[in-house]
Amino acid sequence: MITSFKGKKILVTGYSSGIGNCLIKKYLSLGAKVYSTSTKLEFKKKNLIVLKCNFLNQHSQDIFFKKIENITFDVVVNNAGINIIDEIYNIKDQDIEKIIRINLTIPAQIIKLTSRRMIKRRKGKIINISSIFGSISKSKRASYSSSKSGLIGLTKASALDLAKYNILVNSVSPGFIDTKLTRKILGKNLMKKMKNQIPLKKIAKPDEIIPYIIFLSSDNNNYITGQNCVIDGGFVIQ
Catalytic residues: 144
Distance CA 98, CA 109 (A): 15
Distance CA 4, CA 32 (A): 8
Query: At CA 205, angle to CA 87 and CA 23, rounded to 5?
Result: 100
Closest by CA to 129, choosing from 88, 89, 172, is: 172
Strands 48-52 and 43-45: antiparallel
Distance CA 172, CA 111 (A): 16
Strands 75-78 and 167-174: unpaired
Surface-to-core class of residue 27, CB atoms within 10 Å of its CB (0-12 exposed, 13-18 middle, 19+ buried): buried
Give the bridge partners for 51, in sequence order. Answer: 37
How crowded is residue 71: how many other Cβ atoms within 10 Å of its Cβ? Answer: 14
